[in-house]
């Protein structure tokens, strides 16, 4: 943590049956894979949907319910205490003066458990992706083989991607929470790639949107080789792609409503890949004053 902070300074069970909705906040934590299933809900064209509902697989016991209730109440107590202290459990003075923050670092299996990996296997593809601890258990190593062969289902036209995405924050009683990065203006990470380009993805849940979430992207080009790279990505350089347009003044990135962050490789090149990550953090670069990095066009200009 100290090394990561120094380097930064230098530069979250939806039941389908209505009679279970009242128990949703309590039943949600009992489903160990309820969060991960949200990442693999894709059903291949022509395949039959599951006839058995999710709640029918729940093996609910009274003793386990009491234990879960105690855990959720304890989490609620901790959240209330942190809220009374200040933003994110920090004092107001510390929050206002904070210039760096390490959000994710990889020093054990519990750190890897905060992430989910996926590939085109979910749509019938043949790419492979794995995530493990790096040398000396001090980094995360994302590696695999990219395969652009299109599945023969008569529907899919493109294939060949692998990704790594953070699990969304979940509060007490399965409440959805968000990352608040409004106090920073740049994403800062220390990585070691193999020369292939990666797409950094930020998912947000804006206040005014009929979409599930907005997706902002930035292409990160690694240089390869044995040396580490310290990459600073200002939020002004992320472009929004979920609605086929770029970020602008009317559609800014909501830094206080960050849902998840992810990395995707899909450069249409067959072969092995790897990305080693030391930490992912935030930086408030006071020298960076850029609001938007791309050319703007006036909408409906006067004639």
Q: Could you say which DSSP state residue 76 is in?
A: H
| Residue 178 near residue 205 (C-beta atoms within 8 A) | yes
125 vs 87, higher pLDDT: 125
Q: Strand, coil or helix: what is 263?
A: strand
Would you state the pLDDT for residue 240?
77
Write out the H or E segment, with its range, that includes residue 279: strand 271-283
Say what the pLDDT of residue 99 is: 86
Q: Could you tell me where the beta strands, DSSP code E, fall in 90-196?
A: 100-105, 115-119, 128-133, 140-146, 162-166, 186-192
Would residue 117 be called left, alpha or beta, if left means φ above 0 and alpha means ψ between -120 and 50 degrees?
beta
pLDDT tens for 3-45 read 565 555 555 333 334 334 444 444 444 444 443 444 445 555 5
pLDDT in tens, 171-228: 888 888 888 898 899 999 999 999 999 999 998 876 655 555 678 899 999 988 889 9
Which tens digits make up the pLDDT trace of 43-73? 555 566 666 666 666 667 778 888 888 888 8
Q: Which residues are CB-neighbours of 269 under 8 A, at least 6 positions away?
A: 146, 148, 196
| Residue environment code for 32-50, b if the CB has 16+ CB neighbours within 10 A, otherwise e | eebbeeebeeeeeeeeeee
Cα 193 from Cα 179, distance rounded (Å) = 26
Range with lowest mean pLDDT among 34-38, 90-94, 98-102: 34-38
Helix (H, G, I), strand (E, B) or coil at 251: strand
Using CB atoms within 10 A of its CB, is residue 208 exposed (0-12), middle (13-18) or buried (19+)?
A: exposed
Position 87 pLDDT exceeds 60: yes
**Cα–Cα distance list, 117 to 57, 82, 90, 122, 265 (Å):** 24, 31, 32, 11, 12
- Identify whether the C-beta of residue 288 lies closer than 8 Å to the C-beta of residue 188: no
Residue 282 · residue 101 · CB < 8 Å: yes
CA 299 to chain centroid, in Å, comes to 32
The overall average pLDDT reported for the chain is 78
Of the pLDDT bands very low, low, confident and very high (cuts 50, 70, 90), residue 1 is low
Per DSSP, the three-state class of 31 is coil
Q: What is the pLDDT of residues 105-130, one digit of tens each?
A: 999 999 999 999 999 998 889 999 99
DSSP 63-74: HHHHHHHHHHHH
Find the helix or strand (DSSP H, E) in which 35 lies.
helix 34-37
Supply the pLDDT for residue 114: 94
**How many CB atoms sit inside 10 A of residue 151's CB?**
16
């Amino acid at each position: 943590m100290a090394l990561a902070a120094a380097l930064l300074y230098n530069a979250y069970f939806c039941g389908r049956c209505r009679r279970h909705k009242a128990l949703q906040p309590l039943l949600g934590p009992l489903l160990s894979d309820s969060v991960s299933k949200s990442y693999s809900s894709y059903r291949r064209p022509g395949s039959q949907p599951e006839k058995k509902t999710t709640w029918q697989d729940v093996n609910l016991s009274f003793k386990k319910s009491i234990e879960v209730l105690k855990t959720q109440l304890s989490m609620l107590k901790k959240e209330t205490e942190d809220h009374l202290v200040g933003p994110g459990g920090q004092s107001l003075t510390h929050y206002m003066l904070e210039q760096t923050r390490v959000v994710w670092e990889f020093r054990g299996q519990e750190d890897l458990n905060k992430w989910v990996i996926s590939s085109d296997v979910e749509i019938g593809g043949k790419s492979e992706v794995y995530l493990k601890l790096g040398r000396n258990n001090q980094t995360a190593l994302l590696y695999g083989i990219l395969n652009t062969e299109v599945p023969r289902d008569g529907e899919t036209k493109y294939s060949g991607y692998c990704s790594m995405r953070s699990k969304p924050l979940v509060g007490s009683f399965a409440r959805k929470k968000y990352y608040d990065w409004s106090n920073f203006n740049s994403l800062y990470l220390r990585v070691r790639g193999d020369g292939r380009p990666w797409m950094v993805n930020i998912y947000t849940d804006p206040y005014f949107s009929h979409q599930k979430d907005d997706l902002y992207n930035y292409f990160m080009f690694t240089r390869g080789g044995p040396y580490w790279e310290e990459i600073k990505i200002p939020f002004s350089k992320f472009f929004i792609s979920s609605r086929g347009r770029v970020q602008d003044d009317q559609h800014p990135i909501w830094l206080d409503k960050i849902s998840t962050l992810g990395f995707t490789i899909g450069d249409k090149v067959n072969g092995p890949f790897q990305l080693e990550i030391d930490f992912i953090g935030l930086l408030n670069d006071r020298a960076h004053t850029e609001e938007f990095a791309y050319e703007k066009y006036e909408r409906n200009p006067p004639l």
